[in-house]
Amino acid sequence: MAKIPYSRCEALPQGRIFPAAYCRVLPKRTILLLTILTCFFMLAGFSFVSAQPSEIIEVGKFSSAHAGSDFPSTWKPLTFKKIKQHTRYTLVADSGVVVVKAASNSSASGLIRKIEIDPKTYPVVTWRWKVTKVYEKGDVTKKNGDDYPARIYITFKYDPGKAGFFEKIKYKTAKTLYGEYPPVAALNYIWASHAPEGTIVPNPYSDQTMMIAVESGAKKLNSWIEEVRNVYQDYKKAYGEEPPLISGVAIMTDSDNTKESAVSYFGDIIFYKK
């Protein structure tokens, strides 16, 4: 399985996300996947949004906002205790359309939305993004290269009915602490700096997040690129099994490992039926 970006057992101001004994059970970045999204979802005080029967689900309708305004209430900041430098996200107008601008300088943070979607019913996700540079030190296979000028996370819901004995214990502990189960896995769609397009590999910190290089390198810099991915098929290819329900979507531009900088842009994120 795969990974998520930052291995912090101490991601919250109150101290450890999990007790020390629990942290020793899992790799650090695995703990992040199992905790960071859940903790921020719950502490931010917003609830699940269930998909309504329709042809599309507009997860990130940034274009309906106003440049310079606050983000939609369904989107919340995702920050990490030990990373003092945060990526700056703002709503700006680009060619007459409001989009998200992300400016990172040796920094890391994201924007996140919690939403429950059935990938069998809504398997196709589309989004637009624009990247202005890639990282010289970016390397999808190394921890110190685990930065991307643009990435989109899709997290998946834990299903206790499909879990083994020890996995149930881990997730039951998490639910006891935080009131609900954390995600079981994630697909991480990235604009890689050097990895070939189409690369699918585990994150160097955890195998609970699979990195999928949708774009790579500098050949498409400064141009809006529209992506279309079949999340259902990508999950089956990455994990070799049927996907559970989607539990959340996040966007991120980070450069804390490479100590570089980048400015990137994200457009609307929409899920479609088959």
Asked if residue 131 belongs to a domain, the reply is yes
Q: The domain spanning residue 132 has which CATH number?
A: 2.60.120.260
- Domain containing residue 264: 48-159+183-272
Asked if residue 108 belongs to a domain, the reply is yes
Amino acid 6: pLDDT: 33
Amino acid 206: pLDDT: 82
Asked if residue 176 belongs to a domain, the reply is no
Asked if residue 133 belongs to a domain, the reply is yes
Mean pLDDT of 193-205: 95
Amino acid 48: pLDDT: 43
Tally of structural domains, the chain: 1
Stronger pLDDT, 63 or 35, i.e. the higher one:
63
Asked if residue 29 belongs to a domain, the reply is no
What does pLDDT average to over the chain?
81
List, in sequence order, every residue forming a beta bridge with 191; answer none if it has no partner.
215
pTM: 0.77
pLDDT beyond 70 at 39: no
Amino acid 174: pLDDT: 46
Stronger pLDDT, 112 or 206, i.e. the higher one:
112
pLDDT beyond 50 at 104: yes
pLDDT digits (tens, 9 = 90+) for 211-233: 999 999 999 999 999 999 999 99
DSSP 26-82: S-HHHHHHHHHHHHHHHHTT----BPPSSSEEEEE-GGGS-TTSPPPTTEEEE--TT
Amino acid found at 194: H
Asked if residue 124 belongs to a domain, the reply is yes
Where residue 54 falls among pLDDT bands split at 50, 70, 90? confident
Asked if residue 4 belongs to a domain, the reply is no
Where residue 34 falls among pLDDT bands split at 50, 70, 90? very low
Mean pLDDT of 42-66: 71
pLDDT digits (tens, 9 = 90+) for 143-188: 999 999 999 999 998 666 665 554 555 544 444 544 554 567 999 9
Report the C-alpha gap between 191 and 133 in whole angstroms.
10
List, in sequence order, every residue forming a beta bridge with 8; answer none if it has no partner.
none
Asked if residue 172 belongs to a domain, the reply is no
pLDDT beyond 60 at 109: yes
Counting residues of the chain whose pLDDT is more than 90, the rounded percentage is 65
Amino acid found at 222: N
pLDDT digits (tens, 9 = 90+) for 120-134: 999 999 999 999 999
List, in sequence order, every residue forming a beta bridge with 272; answer none if it has no partner.
56, 124
Mean pLDDT of 234-258: 96
